[in-house]
């Protein structure tokens, strides 16, 4: 998935004081943590 707000086009970056932008930040952070946990689970299962 690609967040259009963070695309390659130059432009105004999101303002995190706006509630919609803080939601976008939360979604991206949740996706990052989910990916890290998934990688950790795969590593633990492959070594066990």
User: What does the pLDDT look like over 1-48, one tens digit per residue?
Assistant: 555 555 555 666 666 677 777 888 889 999 999 999 999 999 999 997
Residue 1, pLDDT score? 53
Residue 30, pLDDT score? 94
Residue 37, pLDDT score? 97
Residue 41, pLDDT score? 97
Residues 43 and 40: their CA atoms lie apart, in Å, by 5
Residue 36, pLDDT score? 96
- pTM, whole model, 2 decimals? 0.55
Helices and strands in the chain, H and E counts? 1, 0
Domain-wise residue ranges, the chain: 16-43
């Amino acid at each position: 998935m690609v967040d259009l707000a963070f695309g390659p086009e130059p432009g105004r970056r999101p303002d995190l004081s706006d509630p919609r932008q803080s939601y976008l930040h939360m979604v991206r952070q949740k996706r990052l943590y989910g990916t890290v946990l998934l990688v950790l689970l795969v590593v633990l299962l492959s070594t066990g």
